[in-house]
Chain A
Amino acid sequence: MGRLFNHPLAAPALIALIVIACGFGLGSNFYLRVAALVWISALAAIGLNLLMGFAGQVSLGHAGFFGIGAYAVAVGPNVLPVSPLLALVLGIALAAVIAYLVGRPILKLKGHYLAVATLGFGILVYMVLSNESGLTGGPDGMPVSRATLFGWRLKGVDTWYWITGGVLVVGAWVAVNLVRSPTGRALRALHDSEVAARVVGVDVARYKLVAFVVSAVYTALAGGLLALFNGFITPDVAGFMHSIEFVVMVVLGGMGSIVGSLVGAAILIALPQALSAFQEYEHLALGLILMVFMIFLRKGIVPSLVALAGRGR
């Protein structure tokens, strides 16, 4: 059992199984739609987990990168002669460049100071998206043109279910690869002791930047997918609350657990849907559940459960 858990392909394989099972098990378009939204959020959460859970650097502004990816897909085809899919690629590249330029100065900050700097970054992105209404349609949002792949129009919930699910599985596989590579070891090392990492040769500033850029790429990709899937976006995708939601997904599911990020995303996306029957009590329950989970499973759901299972053996 333990051997199985530790296999490099365990997490991506488990996630692939879940995607396939849900794909055939969920009957209605409504559930498939919710599931696709979960896959998209989980992708962003895995990206943020690489930064927070593995490298130990907090970001309260990752929705900014999500917004950059989403709006690149929406705005790109209007201002450049590019297709939505090419715009997605350009948007990811833009997010990577911005992460590099922003990350260089702010990753020198530690702890709460880094938190407030990333928070500021996220708010700046949000402000630009909601104020430049000429390009972005302002606070009311804007439509996104349909993507085509080799002449095939990508539409329909089930199509997007499998696209987002597939990207999530690949994303999880890449994340696991990274964690188990020399780069991943450097990241995890600087999380525990920066000074010890430095005296064995790890360029701490460079690796924090690597984690920041990689996580920005994941998040921007997720943003672009959401825009293509939804066909419409508003600046709220880049808002502060969305950044907080990503952090909650990572911490709730378990920092440093790839499967945990999926669990966290599933709870944060599916729970409001499940609670929507109670309407005004939805947020009341959400806040309560957050507190209860973090008090009793403080390492996050997946690591806490794995520890419990380990004790039971």
Chain B
Amino acid sequence: MTALSVRDIGISFGGVKAVDSVSFDVEEGSIFSIIGPNGAGKTTLFNLISGVYLPKAGTVSLFGEDVTGVAPNRLVARGLSRTFQNLQIFFRMTVAENVMVGRHLKEARGIVPHLLSLPSVVRQNRDSRTEAIRLLDRIGLAGRADDLAANLPYGELKRLEIARALATEPKILLLDEPAAGCNPKETEDIERLIEAIAADGVTVVLVEHDMRLVMRISNRLHVLDYGKTLASGTAEDVRTNPEVIKAYLGTHGAEEAARARR
């Protein structure tokens, strides 16, 4: 079944069409990557899908239901969560608390029991923490659960964002450059993590610049350039598409590449 369907979506900022009539479908349980040169509109596309921006045109559907313009916090209830290219960590909270916020919709949210710290709230805090520790264990950060998030190095914060998103128990997870700024070892960890997430049946939509990572793990790819769709298909389709090569290497580079192949 189609988990995520984007139809003719578009938005412009100050007359510039940041995303222009983009359409694609993502099969449930697959890893779908969106690639393209810097400024191609990948993050903007994520912001449109996750409800952070309101699209000027087009529709977004989750599992066949139209969710265009639905607020991000409501999309979480429908099974969509995401991470950010520029870290959006709760720096004043501990590592465990960061993940516990991800349990928000799974927790009873009546204010009066919270004010009085009723036994049910104490129990729930304990449950949320247990789940948070389990997820931290999965990304190798259980040992730092009670450290202030601000004290973690960059690579670990990248993984912390993934753990926080996983805590919402998403059916679709949007990962915005999870390996950016990571060393080869960390990139490998993230690759394995993404594959494990997909193996659990979660649909992963990925924006990533590390082409080796993308080509290895993606079921399908979608290439953007200047906000428009340039190509779409499997890793092999995209790799050999002359338009894509031209966009990445420039016209001159594309000729070189073509000569080299001959």
Contact = CB atoms under 8 A, between A and B. Distances in A.
A199 B117 contact: no
Given A182-B107, A185-B104, A193 B88 contact: yes
A174 interface: yes
* Band of interface residues on A: 20 to 34
Contact of B52 (A192, A195, A203): A195
A196 interface: yes
A68 to B, nearest CB: 21
Interface in B100-149: 100-105, 107-109, 111, 113-117, 121, 124-125, 128
Contacts, number: 109
A202 B71 CA distance: 10
A197 interface: yes
Contacts of A203: 73
Contact of B76 (A182, A191, A200, A214): A200
Contacts of A8: 117
Contact of B72 (A189, A193, A198, A214): A198
* Band of interface residues on B: 35 or more
A202 B73 contact: yes
B114 A178 contact: yes
Given A177-B116, A192-B92, A199-B72, A182 B104 contact: yes
Interface string B160-180: 000011011000000000000
Contacts of B73: 197-199, 201-204
27 contacts: A177-B114, A180-B125, A182-B100, A182-B103, A182-B104, A182-B128, A183-B109, A183-B114, A185-B97, A185-B100, A186-B104, A191-B92, A192-B89, A193-B88, A193-B89, A193-B90, A195-B72, A196-B89, A197-B73, A198-B52, A198-B73, A199-B72, A200-B104, A200-B105, A201-B76, A201-B105, A202-B73
Given A183-B109, A197-B101, A256-B92, 6 more contacts: A180-B125, A181-B113, A181-B115, A196-B164, A199-B165, A200-B104
